[in-house]
Structure 1
Amino acid sequence: MKLTSPWVLLAISGAVGVLGWLAAVLATRYSLNTPVLPLNGLITMGIIVVLTLILGLRVRRWRNGDKKKMLNPILAAWTLVLAQACAYTGSVLLGWHAGIFLDQLQLWNLRSDQTLAWTALAMAGGGLVMVGVGLMVERFCRIPPEDGDGEAAPGRPEPRKPKSEGEYAYRGD
C-alpha cells in the first residue's frame, strides 16, 4: 500500500475550500445559515485523533523492537486504514472550514458577533491536526525496507531469488 501524498491532501483541501467558500457566499446571498459544523464537533475529532495516535504508537513500539508480544496484523492494518481516513477527513474539514473562514473574513468589520468566523477557524485547525496525526501514524505503520521490500540492508547479502517457478522459501517434504 502506498503512503498518502501530502500533495493529494493539499489538492483535496483546496478543491473543497473553493466549494466551502462558494457555499458560504450562496448562503449569505440567500439569507441562509452558513454551513459550518458546531464546536462540539471538535470533541469527536479529538476522540478520533487520540484513538488513532494510541493505536499508531502501539504499532510503532512493536515495529521498533518491542516484539515480546505478537502484534495482531489485522489491528495493524486497521490502524493504517484509520490513519489514512483521518488524513483524508481532516483534509476535507480543513478545506471546507478554511473556505468559510475566508468568506467570513470579508465581513469581519461589518459584524459585531464573530462567533461563526472563530468556529470555522477552530474547525479548520481541528482538520489540520487530523491531517498531521493521520500522516504521522501512517508513517508509524510502515515496515522498514529490510523487513519486507526485498532490498538488502547495508552489510547484509542480497535476498536469494527463486531459480524456477516451483521453488519456494520453504521445503514441503
Structure 2
Amino acid sequence: MARSGPLPIDPIAEAKRQWVAHGWTDAAAGMSAVTSIIRAQQLMFARIDAILRPFDLSFARFELLRLLGFTRTGRMPMASAIARLQVHPTSVSSTVDRLVRDGLVLREPHPIDGRAAMLVLTDAGRELVERATTALNTEMFEDPGLSAADTAELVGIIARFRKDAGDFSDPRPAPDPL
C-alpha cells in the first residue's frame, strides 16, 4: 500500500545515524550522498512519468525523439544516438523498435556504411516531441523543485562528479554552468 503523506523522519538521515552507530563512520556521508541522489532521481522520474504519460512516452522514448528533433534534418546514425544517450545499445535498440512500431521514427539504411542504420524522425514524432517538450518545460524543468541558485549549484557539483568519473572531457566552448 502506498504511503499517504510524508514520513515523520528522514529515512536517509536515520540510515546515516545507523551507519555511524554500527562503526561505519567513514562511509556514512558517502552512503547518504548516494542514497539521496537515488531517491531524488526516483522523485524526479515520478514527476516526469506523470507528465509524459498522456503522450504515451517513457523518458527514454522522449530523450531519443528530442535528440532527433535537435538535429538539422531529424536524422542521425544509430551509433551516434547510442553514444549521446549514454545507455546500453540494446536499450536504445529496444526504444527505437517501439518508436518505429508507433510510427514516430523510421530506421533507414546508412547512406555510406551498409552495416549501420540511420534513425529518422517522422512528422508524427516531431509533433509529439514538441508537445511533450512543452509539457516537460512547463511542468518540470521551469520549476524542478529547487531554487535557481540551488539548481545551478547542484548541476555544477554533479557535472564535476561526472567529469571526474570520465563521463566527458572538457568541451570547448564549455556550456553553462560547468
Task: Give the TM-score normalised by the residue count of structure 2.
Answer: 0.23
Q: Which structure is higher in strand share?
A: 2
Task: Give the TM-score normalised by the residue count of structure 1.
Answer: 0.23
| Structure of greater relative contact order (alpha carbons < 8 Å, 6+ residues apart) | 1
